[in-house]
Amino acid sequence: MPARFEQMVWIVFLMCLCVEMIAPNANEAALRTVMVELLNTVVFETKRTAKFRTLLKRIERTLKNIEPIFYGYERLRKVLYRPEDETKMFIYYVANGKEVVMECSEIKCWNVYKKFHHANKLIGLDNMLLSFFQSELQDNLSSSRRSLFELYALGDKLDQVLAAVTKQTGGFSDSCSVPGLPDVIIGLDFHLQELKRMLLKDETQIVTVSAPGGCGKTTLVKMLCHDNEIKGIFGDNIFYVTVSRTTSIKTIIQKLFAHFHVNHCELQTDEEAKNQLENFMRQMGSKNILLVLDDVWSESESLIQDLKFPISGYKILVTSRFLFSRFGSTYELTLLNDQDAKTLFCSSAFHNMNSVNVPDDLVNKMVKYCKGFPLALTVIGASLCGQNVVKWRSTLKKWSEEDEKITASALMDMWVESYNLDDEGMYTSEYLLELSSRNLLNLVVTRKDGSELEGYCNEHYVTQHDLLRDLGIHLSSQDPISQRTRLLIEIYKNQIPTWWIQQKQEPMAARLLSITTDESFSSIWYDLNAPNVEVLVLNIRSRKYEIPSFIKKMNKLKVLIITSYGTFPCELHELQFVSSLTNLKRIRLEHLSLSHSIQSILDLYELKKLSIIMCEIGSALASCRNVTLPNLLELEIDRCYDLMEIPSEFCSLKNVKKLSITNCHEIDSLPKELGSLSSLEVLRIHSCTRLVRLPDSIRFLSNLVFLDISDCLSISMLPHQIGELNGLRVIKMSGCRGLEELPDSVIDLCLLEDVICDEETSYLWSYYEEDLCDLNINTVEDDRFANFMKIVSH
């Protein structure tokens, strides 16, 4: 009998071992299948569509970094050594991710709203892949992926600092009881009613309150938990958990059980913990339950799903700096209005709300520059409490001299070269979307039919609150000046920083250098030994400006951005210094008065993008002897109001893929040689109001995919041979009031997918819908007409 018993024990042991081995193998096969299918789909869609190419390539790199894990049994087993349900859920999400990738080509290029949300889905997919394989992926990350992580490093630091600040002021508790309310609450009553209405909807189980750190999310949620109506519905079953960045599902559940005085120390796995909590909640009967998860980070999004149980009357309320589009209902907390902002500011800046000797207009201006941000109002108000008027005015002056926004395209120019992003990075703004989804900046699209496709971001702006910007500058300025990778220099009244005057011979480490001067700067420069600079930004306020001669020694310089913020265009001198910069790839000149010296940048061999924005051009372009630029891919000229013609020499740029000539109201014709731009894929002639027609040679642009002639009021006809553009997929032509008919050749535009136009123009296209069976006519409101009606109504 003992022998038979021992034999049975061995049989049972072997059966258990087989089961243990079979389950991972089954999961391995399923995981391998969905991962291979996802990779194949990503590669296919990357070739098929340009709309999300940067994000798709990012996912492709992640998948290829994961791929070697499958060839090492121990490594794969380590990854799969987790609860089976968790692995199965991951496999399900990967399979769903394949569907998300396949939808990329279905999102229309002009639909900014859908593009934003779909980009967030792709970002979430990439983050999920990295999170699941994190333990085995650390050493496999490519240098380009690491550089992408660097792109968000400052954002992470901002998040951490804001979290620390708000935690100190929030009165957090280690129990699951609702914390008390702060002494002063201003401006949240309306938000409380709106949030309560959203939460109490029968079909809603999860509501996320989203806003940047310090906007009052936690205070709003505490108010809701203390609201009499909410307490009447949920009673004592309101449980409040603060979620740190490293909190696990098991930690949260153990904390809840401790709150209930239930001993569940034997919980071994996350899956067991979830099952125990769900069973416990079901035993509570018909009672309504509200679980508050405060300050959930993007890495902890899965915790929300793990705590979502199909129990009647059970709801989850989340606060986060991030947007969780996966969970439908989101309440985006807005900033304070002017009246509430002033009240909150004064409560912090003055004792007993008495402004003493500070003029009311000075208080109003200070409140204005806090932009309704509760944390800024409180912190800045406290910093000025008891200070004299001189301190108030100096603080206000500093803020008033800072610019409030930056064009998205300028930011993308810096990122593409600084972080070695592929060339497709300049065609998209997915990274801006991700930072926007983290509430670290605001992406402002000024036109309703604005499109990130083809990367034209000049009509998109990025704004960031002063407090976040100053915090970012502070975090990037912790190292000694000579060792900083980002060096920001401000020069006022010719007062050069002492360290610069006394600079020794050792080179500066800076890769990004920004120099800001005021209107009194005399362009007297000291030498600066900064050979590693890759991005140089010159911010100008004076009427005349000489480019510093030390720029000639910046052999690694890739991006040059010169912007004047004065009332009139700045007269720029010594531009010829740029001609020696053999690695320069991107130049952006904004609000400058250009001279004939612009010829020096038209021969740069490596230049890939030239942007001339809001410049006074005069005869500068017309006098150019030749235009070489053999590697130029993109040329954009925007809001150059005195520009009357585009020299035909620019039509010799055989490699240019994007040409944007926009808001140039004096141009009445384009060069007849335009058709020589054989590589052109995107042509934007937007808001050139005097332009009468497009040249007939346009028919030779066989690679043209995107044509924008919107708001060209004087165009009365399209070229008769426009039908020869057999690669054209999108035409934007809203606001073409002078257009009376379309040439019959439009029926030959066999690949045309979308026409974005106003209602009047849509009737012209409706005659050809049957011939162009795949055509979508998308009607948008005329922005100019809408703005006019707003003025009339007021």
Structural domain ending residue among the three candidates 632, 663, 692: 632
Alpha-carbon distance 230 to 237, whole Å?
10
Residues 724 and 783 in one domain: yes
Please indicate, yes or no, whether residues 596 and 653 belong to a single structural domain of this protein: no
The verdict on 289 and 384 lying in the same domain is no
Residue 276 and residue 225 share a domain: yes
pLDDT on residue 604: 92
* Of 272, 304, 332, the domain-final residue: 332
Half-sphere exposure of 304 (CA within 13 A, CB side): 26
d(CA 105, CA 506) in angstroms, rounded, equals 52
User: Residue ranges of the chain with pLDDT lower than 70?
Assistant: 1-27, 68-87, 109-113, 116-117, 131-174, 244-246, 263-266, 328, 351-356, 398-405, 420-431, 433-434, 437-440, 444-459, 464-472, 474-475, 505, 781-794
Q: What is the pLDDT of residue 302?
A: 83
Residues 181 and 322 in one domain: yes
Looking at the structure, do residues 59 and 188 belong to the same domain, yes or no? no
Amino acid letter, residue 311: I
**Number of compact structural domains in the chain:** 5
List, in order, residues 6 or more apart from 337 with CB less than 8 Å away: 187, 372
Residue 229 shares a structural domain with residue 214: yes
Q: How far apart are CA 241 and CA 172, in angstroms?
A: 9
Q: Which two tokens stand for residue 315?
A: 């709801």
CA distance 272 to 285: 21
- In whole angstroms, what is the distance from residue 132 CA to residue 412 CA? 30
465, part of any domain: no
DSSP 333-398: PPPPPHHHHHHHHHHHHSGGG--TTS-HHHHHHHHHHHTT-HHHHHHHHHHHTT--HHHHHHHHHH
> Quick check: is 284 in a domain?
yes
- Positive or negative torsion for Cα 93, 99, 105, 108: negative
- Does residue 32 lie in a domain region? yes
| pTM, rounded to two decimals | 0.65
Cross-sheet strand order for the sheet of 460-463: 405-407, 460-463, 442-445
> What pLDDT shows up at residue 3?
47
Model pLDDT, residue 24? 47
* Assigned domain for 482 exists: no
| 3-class SS of residue 18 | helix
pLDDT the model gives residue 170: 42
In this structure, what CATH number is given to the domain that contains residue 769? 3.80.10.10
Spatial contact of 277 and 256, defined as CB atoms under 8 Å apart: yes
- Indicate the residue type of 10: W
Of 415, 347, 360, nearest to 609 (Cα)?
A: 415
The pLDDT of residue 700: 95
Query: Would you say residue 206 lies in a domain?
Result: yes
How deeply is 506 buried, as exposed, middle or buried, from its count of CB atoms within 10 A (0-12, 13-18, 19+)?
A: exposed
Domain boundary among 378, 400, 422: 400
Q: How far apart are CA 574 and CA 546, in angstroms?
A: 6
The domain of 752 spans: 644-794
pLDDT score at 589: 95
Q: Are residues 556 and 697 in the same domain?
A: no
Other Cβ atoms within 10 Å of 182 Cβ, number? 15
